[in-house]
Every structure is written in structure tokens, then in C-alpha cells.
Structure 1
Amino acid sequence: MDFFAGVLGWTVIAEPGGSFSGFVGDRLAAHVVAGEQGWRVFFGGDEARELRANSSVDGGRVLHGPWAPPPRVGEPCWVELMTESPQDDYWSAELGWESRPEGEDFVVFTSARHGDPRAVAGRLTTSRAQGWQVYFAVDDVVAACARVSVWDGRVLLEPTTVPTGLVASIEGPHGGSCVLLEKPAGWGGVWSS
């Protein structure tokens, strides 16, 4: 938790049972549960339920996403499913999403749940890391990567420009990787427009 707080600027609050919450101002950025592996992604929906790939649906208010306020530094700003076997029909059926191919191996999922269709998530066919990758907003990717070293983490992918924007992939000293996205205009970076 100290690593992500140091790199992303979170204010950390200890919770019962050994878990922690990371806040950016008055907004919850992440809840870290001791012993859990990787990120668990929660999508908004009518009925709470478990999904594939360490994700769930929650019937509560969505804190981050295309209809939430624009992401502030340190907040989640995009999610992308990394998988070897695309199952776009599953996500469309479970969440009412439409899939829009944006290249040979990449799909943007959109939803019209609250009005005009907006990008909600991406899917990349890859043999690299599997599961949902969480992107966090930063002002300066290069400066954030320098903080990664200070907090004993490592940069897995140096700053590079991808369709989402300028990104870098990082990992904490005890595991836990995420992607940093520089100055996203909204949820999904360039996909927000």
C-alpha cells in the first residue's frame, strides 16, 4: 500500500481486518485487501454478481468510469482485459456492452447504459499478463516512473505511446502491477472523446 500511495499520491486509511483504502481527496481510489492477488474490478449493474477474470458487478454507485467525474491524479482511469482467448460475447451478454474492434488484437467495449454510448473498457489479445489491468491517472509518466524506483518497485514497460495515450506499466516491490496513463481527458484517455 505504501508503494501505491507513494507513486500515486494516495492518502491511506487503515480498515478493519488488515485492509486499507487509498483516497484521492474525498474519492476512494482503491481498496486493498491483505492476501488477495491482483486487482478486482467492479462494474456497475442492476444485480450484484461474480464475473470471470477477477471481476464483479456491484449494484451500488459507480465511483470511476465514463459517467463519473473526470479522473484526478491517482484515480483509476481505465481498465483493460488482457487475455489469450477473447470472449467478447460473454462480456456483451453479462454487461450489455457492444464491442468495437480497434485493430487486429484490440477491442473497445462501449455501453449506452446512461445515455450516449461511451467507452467502458478495452480487451487486448496477448500472451503477456492475464486478467484485468487497471490504469491510474498521473500528471507526468516519466516523473511517476522515477517515484517507482524510490519506492523499490520496478518499471515493466518504459513510457510509450499506445492508442490510449502515454503509458508505463509498473509493479510494486511485493507484486501488484498497474498501468500509469498521463493526463487522461476522461475515462479511457483518448477513448473518452
Structure 2
Amino acid sequence: MALQPEGTPCWADAMFADVEGAKRFYGDVLGWTFGESSTEFGNYTQAYADGKAVAAVVPPMPGAEEQSAWCLYLASPDVEATARKIRDNGGQILMEPMKVGDFGSMTLARDPGGVVFGVWQGGTHEGFDVRGVDGAFCWAEVFTREPDKSDAFFPAVFPYTAKAMDMDAHGEEFRTFHVDGDPVLGRMRMGEEFPADVPPYINVYFGVPDCDAACATAVERGGAVVWGPMNTPFGRFASILDPHGATFSVIDGSTTEGEMPEMRDI
């Protein structure tokens, strides 16, 4: 059975051609330390926040040296069954389900709108040791140009219910997916502010004690702030492009402004 509720974000990793450079950057920006590389599993290297596993970095596989990107994994009690649901609902399997030693089983997939994500069936590795604290995963949002496809796909594959919030006078909508009543994943439409060559993706948020300081460090270390910092009812956050081309967000949940928005059931 699933070690975490099905559909819950449970792990995040990214491929970097320059793993040592990525370790320096994320160590400085997020305060991560790193374990020993696992040569048996392609030099997969876990990142830690205060000794707790929060993510991983890995060199690209041969022939996959494209732009770096963060990949979010969603929990499954049966990765083979989830892969079938992905196919049945118009998604594409990019990496067939496979066992990763006794750590667990995984597959990589793409939704009908082009959003890449992973599925993880935990074994001895359940996923995040901690979340919602400095240096750890806090939240994630699907960024897509075809929200209708993602809105239909994800609740068909995972046991999600959904809520929505109108964001402006034109009816632009932000949606959240819930597991057992708890929000686990957001969905945003990619507008004209996104260059045409930016593919759909899942934006992963990591906690920081000071959003502005994290942004300043990111810029000093060769990254760029692409949006923010901005105060919200959820915290002060910003989106960052790392020196290797991967986008992620940082959020200081202790600095909030405004009232929580009202969400309606769908």
C-alpha cells in the first residue's frame, strides 16, 4: 500500500550536467547539504535540510542532456496501475515502471498538455523526510497552456477533488487539487508572460527563512529572479531560474499579507 496518500507530492529531483555546480548553488540558496553519490543508481545524490532528506540531484542519462528541470513525484500504491490510468486518460509514459532496488518503484509521465511528472511507489524510501520547513518542499503548481486538459487528467488518474478561485475580471482561474480534503497541488494557466519556448512544467516551492535574501544569493551565484518577491496570504515568494536552466520557487511562510482567498468546490 502507499506509504503516503495516493496523489500526494512525495519527492523531487533534477538532472544537472554540472552536478557539483548545482550542489554549490542550492547549498548556498537553500542551505542544503548532500550525501554520498550512489554509483549503483547513476550517481544519484540526496540533498538534506538539517539532516532530513528533501530532494536529490543526478547527472543526466546519456542522450538526455537537455535543459535541467525539477521533477515532482506523486505517490502511488501501485505504479503499474497508475501507469495504465495515465495511458487510459491521454497521458504518455516517458519511462516505463521500474524498480529502484528496494527503495521503491517509479515511472515518468507527461500529461496531455505536456506537463512532465513522476510517480513513486515507496519502498524503503518513502519520499520527503520533512516538508513545509526551511529548505524543504512546501508546495507545487502545474503551469500549463492547456488547463482544461490538466484539469480533466489529474483527477482521473489520482483521487483528487478540486476547488477553484477566480483571479481577475476576465475569469482567469486558479485551481487546487485535494486529497482527503487537503490541498496538495495547484494549477495555473501559462499566459503571454511566458516565452513560447518555455514548456509546461510543475513549479516546485522550497521554504526559506528570508525570501529576499534567498533571491539575492541566487543572483550572486549566477541565477536570476524571474518573478517576485511578492507578499501573499500564503507567504512572501519568488520564482528563480538557476544557472543550469531549472526553475523553482522559494517561499517564506512566516511573512504573509492579506486575507486567504475564498475557493469554490467544483
TM category, shorter = 0.7 to 0.9
Q: Which moved more, 1:35-44 or 1:73-82?
A: 35-44
Classify the secondary structure of the residue corresponding to 1:59.
Answer: strand
Q: Residue deviations 1:136-165, cap 9 Å, x none? A: 001110111111122121111130134643
User: Is the Cα contact below 8 Å between 2:142 and 2:188 reproduced in 1?
Assistant: yes
Q: Residue deviations 1:58-87, cap 9 Å, x none? A: 1216534xxx85522111100100001012
* Gap runs ≥5 in structure 2: 1-21, 84-107, 167-171, 262-266
Q: Who is 2:34 aligned against?
A: 12
* Gap runs ≥5 in structure 1: none
Q: Work out which of the two has the higher radius of gyration on C-alpha atoms and give 1 or 2.
A: 2
Distance apart, 1:184 and its partner CA: 6.1
Q: Distance in 2 between matches of 1:69 and 1:172?
A: 23
Q: Who is 2:52 aligned against?
A: 27
Q: Who is 1:178 aligned against?
A: 248
Q: Who is 2:177 aligned against?
A: 109
Distance apart, 1:27 and its partner CA: 1.9
Residues 97 and 125 of structure 1, relative CA distance in 2, 3 Å threshold: same
Q: Distance in 1 between matches of 2:119 and 2:187?
A: 18
TM-score by length of 2: 0.62
Structure 1 segments, 4+ long, off by >3 Å, are 61-64
Q: Distance in 2 between matches of 1:57 and 1:184?
A: 31
Classify the secondary structure of the residue corresponding to 1:170.
Answer: strand
Q: Residue deviations 1:72-129, cap 9 Å, x none? A: 21111001000010121210011110111112221011111xxxx1000000011325
Q: Distance in 1 between matches of 2:177 and 2:250?
A: 20
TM-score by length of 1: 0.83
1:36-51 map, 5 Å: 37-48=68-79, 49=83, 50-51=108-109
Q: Residue deviations 1:161-190, cap 9 Å, x none? A: 3464321111111211101111269xxxx7
Residue 118 (structure 1) aligned with residue 179 (structure 2): no
Classify the secondary structure of the residue corresponding to 2:78.
Answer: coil
Percent sequence identity is: 27
RMSD across aligned C-alpha pairs, in angstroms?
2.3
Residues 98 and 164 of structure 1, relative CA distance in 2, 3 Å threshold: same
Classify the secondary structure of the residue corresponding to 2:70.
Answer: coil
Counterpart AA for 1:89: A
Classify the secondary structure of the residue corresponding to 1:175.
Answer: coil
Q: Distance in 2 between matches of 1:70 and 1:33?
A: 21
